[in-house]
Amino acid sequence: MDRIAETFSRAKDEGRACFVAYVCAGDPDFETSLEICRTLIENGVDILELGAPFSDPLADGPTNQLAAQRALEGGMTSDRVFELVEGIRGFSEVPVILYTYYNLVFARGEREYVDRAVRAGVDGMLTLDLPPEEAGSLLAISRERDIRNIFIIAPTTPPERVRTIADSASGFLYYVSREGVTGVQAELAGNLKDAVAAIRKETSMPLVVGFGISTGEQVRRVGELADGVVVGSALVNCIKDNLGDRDAILKALRAKMGDLRAG
């Protein structure tokens, strides 16, 4: 089995959901970002989702938009994102998912981008703005190079399209629990249980749930329904609230991870 499949299998054997953490690569700078990734992994992250900083993000709310802006201003590039993954591989075999945009892939060339990702140690790609109907060539190249392609399902996705997405996806599916953009929310979406059950009817692929999850109690409730729980903005806020003090950032992340992992 690949690292992603092994991770979901291990979590299932342990009777729990996978914890998936999102941070923007290079926020607020390369060296701090690497230490942030190390801290998250040391504090229980099962799968690390790294956002490739991009000038025109589509699904990110203000928190993650500003994280991408900080990373870009700090000198992050596509090459440096891959170098960050290589740095992570120096101390961890945790699966790494690259949350990227098709412009970044297209500008480099699909094959070259995938090859570089594989050499760096990336396990999967979530190319946010590439629908499965237009992803044929990237999917073929990814299969050749044994890298997984994750796709998003939205609250508005009809059942027949869930099947289309699942047929193209590999690794796992990512359910966006609410309409709109990323960001901390006080309450979970009210229809989450029914939505997850409806997706389960269409596919047996592992399902993770994200967008708006920010507390240990929310993690617990989502973890009872899904195979994985994604937390992003709540972790990125630990960076934003302590800019200029690396030790304070890492301390805040350790404290937040304690609450989230307890869930």
Whether the CB-CB separation of 182 and 211 falls below 8 Å is answered with yes
- The answer to whether the bond into 28 is cis (omega within 30° of 0) is yes
Task: Please name which of 225, 200, 229 lies closest in space to residue 212, comparing C-alpha atoms.
Answer: 229
Q: How many residues does the chain have?
A: 263
Which of these is catalytic: 27, 60, 110, 202?
Answer: 60
The CA R_g of the chain, rounded to the nearest whole Å, is 17
Which of these is catalytic: 2, 13, 14, 49?
Answer: 49
Alpha carbons 50 and 87: distance in angstroms, whole number: 13
Pairing relationship of beta strands 47-51 and 18-24 according to DSSP bridges: parallel
Angle at 98 between CA 96 and CA 100, to 5 degrees: 175
**187 part of the active site:** no
Which residue, chain included where needed, has tokens 């009210």?
190
Whether the CB-CB separation of 57 and 69 falls below 8 Å is answered with no
- The answer to whether the bond into 95 is cis (omega within 30° of 0) is no
**49 part of the active site:** yes
Q: What type of residue sits at position 177?
A: S
Q: Which residues are catalytic?
A: 49, 60
